[in-house]
Amino acid sequence: MTLLEPARWHLFGGLDRLADLRDPRGETLKIWHPQQGAPEGPYIWVYCSTIGEVNACKAFLQQAAEQGPLVLLTDRHCYRDSYWRHFPNAVVVELSGSPADGARLARELPPQHFIVCEIPAQPVEAPCRLSYGVLRAAKQAGAQCSLINAWLYGYQASCRIDAVEQRLLGQAFIQSFDVISTQTESVRKRLIELGADPACVQVFGNLKFDALEDTSTHLLDQRSRQVIEQLEFAGREMVVAGCLTGDWEFELVLEAFAKAYAENPSLYLILAPRHPEYEEPMRHLWRLLDNSGLSYCVKSRLDKDESAEPHALMLLDTFGELKSFYSRCSVGYVGINHNVLEPLSFGRTVLVSPGWEATYPSYPVYLTTRDLELIVEVADAKALTREMLKSNQHRHADEIKQLLAEQCGAAAKNMRAVFGRE
């Protein structure tokens, strides 16, 4: 930590307050305690921006939860229930983005550890935001701070105040971590260039591979259980297209499925956009669905006694349930730049489009599974239709696990580094 850090921190705090006066952020810190009440501390803070980071690091987090009560922090405001499905005894915190968030958290939920999962390795470097103030408060409270499964996106700050925070406090941010594990050697080298202590940074591989051992399906939502049972009873073969992120992918999947469905009406599409909370892409998706000629229902709108089965597809617009549907599908399509390992862990055929970006943390997994011929790239809608019609020809989970077993082990390495035990 530099001698200038206190002055830079106070300068940034003043600038942030001025920026908030001009353009109020409108959000306040929210702390949600589990149903049975807050467990006793000291706590293990865990920053997971989205359910994707929870899934990526879950093998580690399950073991971490045995070391103390978890406080799951996120910068999003729609994941509370999804987090509780995985960790029902955890406190869930929705950060406001204010530098003052950390001071309040340290008072109410004093941490013994603070663990940042995967991103961000800089305050505003990734498609999420973690104020340096949260990290600083944990450090001042005496917590050991760890960055695990680290990845760098290379994103630029999205606004002026974020750029100021990056410039003033980016080095202090990375130097606050006592333990850093990375997925690759290139990320390790870049973090050291950004100011990390070389003695603190180790390459442990990718925690996503350890998640292959977790084939539990979390069918905690009774409505989802009913939907799956109805579809299976009727002999419908589920095609699950998950983590779709752009208009072109909505169009691709719907065009391909419409042709496959015309040939095989027993097919049933589960369509899961990556961010159903984002209004603009969802408006485009609604238009596509209405113009597709396909009968559809919407998961969040299904009445208690309504069956999803008579339709051709269901829009899965809820959070944290995609893995459950992957576990029972015949074939899965994974949106570009996202995690192919969830459907692979159940031995399903996994389809992807080409053009994955090397800056995404999913990229090394994509390369590995592509080289092992565990995923199938489809160049266009015609190829995707053809693969959907092969929906019952999938590999076994045991075969996939055997091929990927040598990639596992990052969870145990991180447990040793963070907690001194496996």
Say how far apart CA 108 and CA 32 lie, in whole Å.
Answer: 12
Tokens of 217: 């399906």
- Looking at domain 222-406, what is its CATH homologous superfamily? Glycogen Phosphorylase B; (3.40.50.2000)
| Residue from 137, 183, 94, 233 nearest 362 by CA | 183
Say how far apart CA 274 and CA 292 lie, in whole Å.
Answer: 20
CATH topology for 5-203 is Rossmann fold (3.40.50)
Say how far apart CA 6 and CA 97 lie, in whole Å.
Answer: 20
pTM, full prediction: 0.84
Per-residue pLDDT tens digits for 398-420: 777 677 777 889 999 999 999 99
Residue count of the chain: 422
Domain boundaries, the chain: 5-203, 222-406
In the three-class reduction of DSSP (H, G, I as helix; E, B as strand; rest coil), residue 194 is classed as coil
CB 213 within 8 A of CB 304: no
Q: How confident is the model at residue 347 (pLDDT cuts 50, 70, 90)?
A: confident
Please tell me the predicted confidence (pLDDT) of residue 361.
85
Please tell me the predicted confidence (pLDDT) of residue 219.
53
Task: Summarize the confidence of residues 327-344 as an average pLDDT.
Answer: 92
* One-character DSSP codes across 199-234: GGEEE---GGGGGGG--------HHHHHHHHHHHHT
Q: How confident is the model at residue 222 (pLDDT cuts 50, 70, 90)?
A: confident
* Angle, CA of 253, 258 and 264, to the nearest 5°: 120
List alpha helices for 68-197, DSSP H: 80-86, 101-108, 132-140, 160-175, 185-193
Show contacts of 39-42: CB within 8 Å, 24+ apart: 39/69, 39/89, 39/91, 40/69, 41/68, 41/69, 41/109, 41/110, 41/111, 41/112, 42/68, 42/110, 42/111, 42/112
Q: Using the 8-state DSSP alphabet, how is residue 38 labeled?
A: P
Instruction: List the single range of 193-197, 214-218, 229-233, 248-252 with lowest mean pLDDT.
Output: 214-218
Write down the mean pLDDT value for the chain. Answer: 90
Per-residue pLDDT tens digits for 114-128: 999 999 999 888 888
CB 356 within 8 A of CB 350: no
Tokens of 109: 């939920």
